[in-house]
Structure 1
Amino acid sequence: MHLIKLAAACLNQTPMDWDGNQKNILAAIQQARSQQVDILCLPELCISGYGCEDAFLGAGLLQQALRVLLEIVPFTQDIIVAVGLPVLHQNRVYNTVCLLNNGKIGGFVAKRFLPGDGIHYEPRWFHPWPVEVQDSLQIGEDCVPFGDIYFNCGGVRIGFEICEEAWVARRPGTRLAQAGIDIILNPTASHFAFDKRETRKRLVLEGSRAFSSSYVYANLLGNEAGRVIYDGDTLIASNGEMLAAGERLSFASWRLISALVDVDRTRMNQARTSRFVGNPQACVHLDFNYPQRLPEKQSESKPVYPAWETGESLKQEEFARAVALGLYDYSAKSRSQGFALSLSGGADSAAVACLIRLMVELGVAEVGIENFCARLNLPQTELNTIEQLMPVLLVCVYQATRNSSETTRNAAEKIAHAVGAEYLELDIENMVSGYRQHIEQAIGRSLNWAQDDLALQNIQARARAPGVWMLANLRNALLLATSNRSEAAVGYATMDGDTSGGLSPLAGIDKHFIRHWLHWLEQNAPNSPGVNPIPALSYINTQQPTAELRPGAEQTDEADLMPYVLLNAIEKAAIRDRQTPWEIYCLLNSRFDYTAEQLLTWIERFFQLWIRNQWKRERYAPSFHLDDESLDPKTWCRFPILSGGFSHELKEMRKNALSQMGEEPG
């Protein structure tokens, strides 16, 4: 029995925050050393941060990353540490992992498979390292191995799969297994998405089983660079059995898990299942003395996952925790002093207010109110309870016009008080009337709803922006926009009105889900101590979504657009799955009980509005990436601002539908 203690640490890093990133790395190493860990895996590019984007191509960034690495080296006595950083080699930049061994640099493994889809853009900055090629890198007076290599540290073979490399068909682990690897380390920067942990668990478990090895997976944590949230997933498996798993979406700066693995056991499994075919990679031999160990009880039991990860409401929990963590990190790293929110009394702004309350409850429950406030640069000595903290952290303002109803005013007030925010009311009818009168005088005629409907609606929404911006400026607060993904798809938002803000927390999620989530939160809450349901949401959940911008009470979002459940289905089919209008019609006709003419009208409306409003999506405030249905044109869903507008495809859809019904096209 040859027992080795492995550890994986997640880190909440920030691009180019050299001091902060180094502090977190050293804290994780210190904790690992205190737990007598032999081998510690840290996340991908954790020295520089993953989201440096075009700054990766700056010489200064690469020099700083190497400086931090050299300052970390002395803290790795009696431990093996894998740490990620960008490296310049032969006038090319590579995404690498450096293995630090007992106070020395053992070598660099360069990433071979680079993701270039979705939010990932690695081929823009990095070169893929060619398979089975080895070289060396001069660092000061030392010449260290570099490239497609693995390590023999004191008789234990250590290899790497770096993030994307575990997701491709030709996993490096296959070749590593042929070389008799004992331990595979996977430093990763894997963004959060709903239900993604199950896929990661399968990759780790299958890797440890198929390669007859121990497998260590370490992810980044938190809202690193503004849009992407990392859930801090950490996993350790051996021979197809999960030994340790860390809690995701933590508010801490780092978290560490560890487990004992038996190298002799994995080797005997390899003896039964694998055939040695020679070394496809170069082996770097390093000295390391492992202590003699006895089995520990905790290594003999399977990991216990948090209750919220095993419940029936996983997506609701993940949404609450991911966006709450994203808001927390965004506020801390942008150095803002809390949030400002235009609270309309509708679902979207209520959801944002509730998410901030959940941010506070979840964060305080985990790290304590003193640490929570310190991270946000708030005066924690004066804030001893959540009730004292909330009005300092969030100001909500309801801004009424003559078209606003008592229903939404009452709902806004109830929600603001329920979450504990400071609540203000403004009557902006005089401002709206003033704008209207100025334009009427300029154009020489009166405006009316029959002729000027859109302009008269939009001026009400735009008139709300200056006041809430002023409140945000007075408090040095971050103004939060409230538009959701469904509105972004069809442009059902007033530019410079409800889209105003520095961050749009809901732009990555559809309205149909938001409404269901609010019903869930009315009676439930994330499964964590001190986190409670918000019964006041009943004032929101009993309403039909409405912009309240036309005279009278008959205006609703779904009457203006289409049922949200149908809009969501069209959006998924058209944008995520890239189906044609005719294919979408056939799909909806089999799923929904609407007339053919109604379906044709709504599909045509969706595509026409989608084409017309790409410029709005280009101007939206940054949003959080939550799933593979994002419409963010900067990181996920790129679409031309000007195009042919699907005119031929829409005509073809209507022609085919009428032909199917036995009717002649008009």
Structure 2
Amino acid sequence: MRRRLVVVATCNLDQWSLEFQGNLERIRSSIALAKEKGATYRVGPELEIPGYGCEDHFYEQDTVDHSWECVEELLKGDLTQDIVCDVGMPVTHLGVRYNCRVFLLNQKVCHIRPKVALADDGNYRESRYFSSWKRGSVVDMYQLPVSVQEQTGQKTCSFGDCALSFADDCTIGVETCEELFTPQAPHIRLALSGVDIISNGSGSHHQLRKLDRRLELMKSATAKAGGVYLYANQRGCDGGRLYYDGCACVFVNGEFLAQGQQFALSEVEVVTATVNLDDVRSFRTSIASLQHQASATAPVPMVPINFCLCQADPAALPTSAIQPCYHEPEREIAEGPACWLWDYLRRSGASGFLLPLSGGADSSSVAAIVGCMCQMVLRHIQAGDSRVEADALRIGQYGDGEEVGSAQELAARLLHTVYMGTQNSSSSTEDRATRLAQQVGSYHINCKVDSIVEAMASLFTLITGKQARFRVDGGSTAENLALQNIQARLRMVLAFLLAQLGPWVRGRSGFLLVLGSANVDEGLRGYLTKYDCSSADLNPIGGISKGDLKRFLRWGAKHLGYGELGAVVEAAPTAELEPIREGQAVQTDEVDMGMTYEELGVYGRLRKISKLGPVSMFCRLLVLWRDRYPPNLIAKRVKDFFKYYSINRHKATTLTPAYHAESYSPDDNRFDHRPFLYNTRWPWQFARIDAMAESMSSPPPKSVESQQQGGLVQDISKSSDQ
């Protein structure tokens, strides 16, 4: 008896929303590579033909029509000959638009499987564009578009949630992305129905520390019910805030056989494995409880396909198990945003980036990420990736015969940094910025902006007859904030001027994308000036916490070769917007905010992930911080957070589009849908917190007294900035 060996293929594709020509070429390339490796089944990412992130473009019939036009192209010639091609696209059936998997084989459309559970939380709004399939095991006949009928000679194909049966040697079932995460996941019923191979074409984004959960779910699915599990994913930036992080993989009976890269610049990656389906049958029949449940399960409907999937060399050996690769969070911070920036840069038509580099932790992190991007580009070129090399030569405006020599030399062409100091800036921040720019290799400018700050202040005096003063010189809080904000906003104006004219100054063409550098905690707290140099084209760290950035800086000093990052992380975060007088303490961020970055991270996770309002957050922190603060001080800190969060919530509506990396992101435009006009006094909620705190008041421990003396519990001075 012959062994049931089959070579299966899954892939990572760097698709781009509505870029049908490029998407089609990448799909073609992946199918061709799968065939070269002997595969008879290839699965691709979710909605791979139009791109996952089309959003409201899915409302347009053009998007569906163009997807079918691409199917027609795939069915031409012998591309689908002797290989089952499982592609993702939108399909309209009986007046309803579905997110579907379309199976192609031997120039025919075999079956269309609609998604049964849609992703509707966090960054996803699938039910805005699609309906889920609600008709269970009903199998319809789908009327193919006329042009497809004319090309294939077939008028209809099956449509519904069923499996495919191949010449009595193999069966294939489907679940799509979100369905893996649901309590009644399709893979359970498919496995109990004896389906051998379960595929998942996905559109799953990167988030720090998320990959292990995804892989553990797939491992668990096959460890308890057996079977082959194929996972395909998009990789790259398809036009939005998300980076899809690939990691196409293959599991068999709970063992990990193959894994694609998570962070890479290549547009097409195909992962294959040779699996013995008899091992699946043996595994399942060895588990008594599975046998009993399977015997009582109504089988899924099967669509017969006259094709033998098991065509592998009978002498071939099944692929051996490996260990999955998980990157440490610091490397995720380096490479995820770097890949996102590279896709955005090469697809936007820009000539590089402009970064206001202050010498602080946030802007230094952004500089290091761009430096990491240049290192990744160089590694891909050295590995022979001609497409990456062509993009680098084009964007960097290299001459004929020139080559990319080093990551620093590439950075000198792609990254422009500028230190915009004032009389309130210190020489230490300027020196750190200069040294880091040298290590990364950026084209760097040091300049002072006092003249334009003074001009603006003088204009205000001319208009009003009033002269604003800093607080240290006797000015009010309003004057003090206004004078700080002049500096911050004028830096934004200068940054965009340099971005527009920087290439021209250097005798080059094009424009630069301005990079912002406000972290997720500052966005949550609103600790930034509206329309200052945090207002930019892109922000690679807008979804990353200050704590994670500090750990990244230490990691980057060692692993990226930018030693100056070590000095940056040791410096106290400061805006350097107020003048220093003799005997006065230096302005620092945590004193200004009245809370630490660590605490902000706690508030952010409790607010968004745990979904706690003020009273519930206070109750939770009574437990978490019982050895840290007394109840009355916990009450004050919770009220301070919600007060200033709500005062500054309007800033979230104008946050620079940022790389999504944290599930407590305050991004108002895509992720965190909340009001931006609040009653900032929260009278009902705060009254209950006060009553609870008063009933359990106790003397503060010494640790709290020392923190109060250290200035961590102070009134917030930079809070109501507009």
Q: Could you state the TM-score of these two structures normalised by the residue count of structure 1?
A: 0.94
Q: For residues 295 and 366 of structure 1, do their structure 2 counterparts lie closer, same or farther at Cα, with a shift above 3 Å needed?
A: farther
> How far does residue 660 in structure 1 lie from its aligned partner after superposition?
0.6
Q: For residues 640 and 657 of structure 1, do their structure 2 counterparts lie closer, same or farther at Cα, with a shift above 3 Å needed?
A: same
> How far does residue 170 in structure 1 lie from its aligned partner after superposition?
1.0
> How far does residue 300 in structure 1 lie from its aligned partner after superposition?
4.4
Match of 1:503 among 538, 542, 547: 538
Whether 2:133 is the aligned partner of 1:97: answer no
Q: List aligned pairs for 1:52-451, cutoff 5 A.
A: 52-74=54-76, 75-130=79-134, 131-139=136-144, 140=146, 141=149, 142-155=155-168, 156-272=170-286, 273-274=290-291, 275-276=294-295, 280-289=299-308, 290-291=310-311, 293-297=313-317, 299-306=318-325, 309=326, 314-368=328-382, 371-376=387-392, 377-378=394-395, 379-380=397-398, 381-385=401-405, 386-449=407-470, 450-451=475-476
Q: For residues 577 and 305 of structure 1, do their structure 2 counterparts lie closer, same or farther at Cα, with a shift above 3 Å needed?
A: closer
Distance 1:540 1:292 in 2: 56
Distance 2:387 2:104 in 1: 31
Render the CA deviation track for 1:382-416: whole Å, top value 9, x for unaligned: 34222321111000011111111111111111111
SS at structure 1 position matched to 2:692 = helix
Render the CA deviation track for 1:259-300: whole Å, top value 9, x for unaligned: 111122222334443334576433211111342523545x34
Amino acid at match of 1:180: G
The answer to whether the Cα contact below 8 Å between 1:508 and 1:630 also exists between their aligned partners in 2 is: yes
The answer to whether the Cα contact below 8 Å between 2:541 and 2:659 also exists between their aligned partners in 1 is: yes
Match of 1:467 among 494, 500, 504: 494
**Comparing 498-507 with 260-269, which one deviates more in the overlay?**
260-269
Render the CA deviation track for 1:475-530: whole Å, top value 9, x for unaligned: 311101111111111111111112221111111011122122212222x32xxxxx
Amino acid at match of 1:621: T
Distance 2:460 2:632 in 1: 40
Amino acid at match of 1:288: F
Distance 2:468 2:209 in 1: 51
Match of 1:32 among 19, 31, 34: 34
Amino acid at match of 1:551: P
The answer to whether the Cα contact below 8 Å between 2:139 and 2:162 also exists between their aligned partners in 1 is: yes
Q: For residues 132 and 458 of structure 1, do their structure 2 counterparts lie closer, same or farther at Cα, with a shift above 3 Å needed?
A: same
> How far does residue 44 in structure 1 lie from its aligned partner after superposition?
0.8
SS at structure 2 position matched to 1:216 = strand
Amino acid at match of 1:535: G
Match of 1:10 in 2: 12
Distance 2:437 2:200 in 1: 44
SS at structure 1 position matched to 2:602 = helix
**Comparing 273-282 with 616-625, which one deviates more in the overlay?**
273-282
Match of 1:661 in 2: 697
The answer to whether the Cα contact below 8 Å between 1:582 and 1:649 also exists between their aligned partners in 2 is: yes
Render the CA deviation track for 1:362-394: whole Å, top value 9, x for unaligned: 232134486434235323543422232111100
Q: For residues 588 and 180 of structure 1, do their structure 2 counterparts lie closer, same or farther at Cα, with a shift above 3 Å needed?
A: closer
Whether 2:627 is the aligned partner of 1:623: answer no
Distance 2:23 2:637 in 1: 50
Q: List aligned pairs for 1:514-533, cutoff 5 A.
A: 514-522=549-557, 524-525=558-559, 532-533=560-561
Match of 1:570 in 2: 603
Amino acid at match of 1:498: C
SS at structure 2 position matched to 1:382 = coil
Whether 2:683 is the aligned partner of 1:647: answer yes
Whether 2:485 is the aligned partner of 1:458: answer yes
Distance 1:651 1:513 in 2: 35
The answer to whether the Cα contact below 8 Å between 1:136 and 1:145 also exists between their aligned partners in 2 is: yes
> How far does residue 235 in structure 1 lie from its aligned partner after superposition?
1.4
The answer to whether the Cα contact below 8 Å between 1:226 and 1:330 also exists between their aligned partners in 2 is: no
The answer to whether the Cα contact below 8 Å between 2:608 and 2:663 also exists between their aligned partners in 1 is: no
Distance 1:621 1:133 in 2: 46
> How far does residue 199 in structure 1 lie from its aligned partner after superposition?
1.6
The answer to whether the Cα contact below 8 Å between 1:3 and 1:295 also exists between their aligned partners in 2 is: no
The answer to whether the Cα contact below 8 Å between 1:179 and 1:277 also exists between their aligned partners in 2 is: no
Distance 1:276 1:576 in 2: 41
Distance 1:266 1:196 in 2: 28
Match of 2:524 in 1: 489
Match of 2:719 in 1: none
Distance 1:327 1:84 in 2: 26
The answer to whether the Cα contact below 8 Å between 1:102 and 1:288 also exists between their aligned partners in 2 is: no
Q: For residues 233 and 34 of structure 1, do their structure 2 counterparts lie closer, same or farther at Cα, with a shift above 3 Å needed?
A: same
Match of 2:562 among 521, 524, 534: 534
**Comparing 628-637 with 543-552, which one deviates more in the overlay?**
628-637
Amino acid at match of 1:352: V
Q: For residues 276 and 662 of structure 1, do their structure 2 counterparts lie closer, same or farther at Cα, with a shift above 3 Å needed?
A: closer
Match of 2:705 in 1: none
Q: Could you state the TM-score of these two structures normalised by the residue count of structure 2?
A: 0.87
The answer to whether the Cα contact below 8 Å between 2:632 and 2:697 also exists between their aligned partners in 1 is: no
> How far does residue 440 in structure 1 lie from its aligned partner after superposition?
1.4
Match of 1:584 in 2: 617
**Comparing 283-292 with 324-333, which one deviates more in the overlay?**
283-292
The answer to whether the Cα contact below 8 Å between 1:345 and 1:412 also exists between their aligned partners in 2 is: yes
Amino acid at match of 1:539: A
Match of 1:529 in 2: none
SS at structure 1 position matched to 2:533 = coil
> How far does residue 143 in structure 1 lie from its aligned partner after superposition?
0.6
Match of 2:672 in 1: 637
Match of 2:702 in 1: none
Match of 1:602 in 2: 637
SS at structure 1 position matched to 2:436 = helix
Match of 2:716 in 1: none
Q: For residues 519 and 387 of structure 1, do their structure 2 counterparts lie closer, same or farther at Cα, with a shift above 3 Å needed?
A: closer
Distance 2:570 2:564 in 1: 11
SS at structure 2 position matched to 1:220 = strand
SS at structure 2 position matched to 1:504 = coil
Q: For residues 143 and 371 of structure 1, do their structure 2 counterparts lie closer, same or farther at Cα, with a shift above 3 Å needed?
A: closer
Q: For residues 606 and 57 of structure 1, do their structure 2 counterparts lie closer, same or farther at Cα, with a shift above 3 Å needed?
A: same
SS at structure 2 position matched to 1:466 = helix
Q: Percent identity?
A: 29
Match of 2:717 in 1: none
Which 5+ residue runs of structure 2 have no aligned equivalent? 150-154, 504-510, 700-722
> How far does residue 614 in structure 1 lie from its aligned partner after superposition?
1.6
> How far does residue 255 in structure 1 lie from its aligned partner after superposition?
0.9
Whether 2:562 is the aligned partner of 1:548: answer no
SS at structure 2 position matched to 1:128 = coil
**Comparing 547-556 with 288-297, which one deviates more in the overlay?**
288-297
Q: For residues 466 and 266 of structure 1, do their structure 2 counterparts lie closer, same or farther at Cα, with a shift above 3 Å needed?
A: same
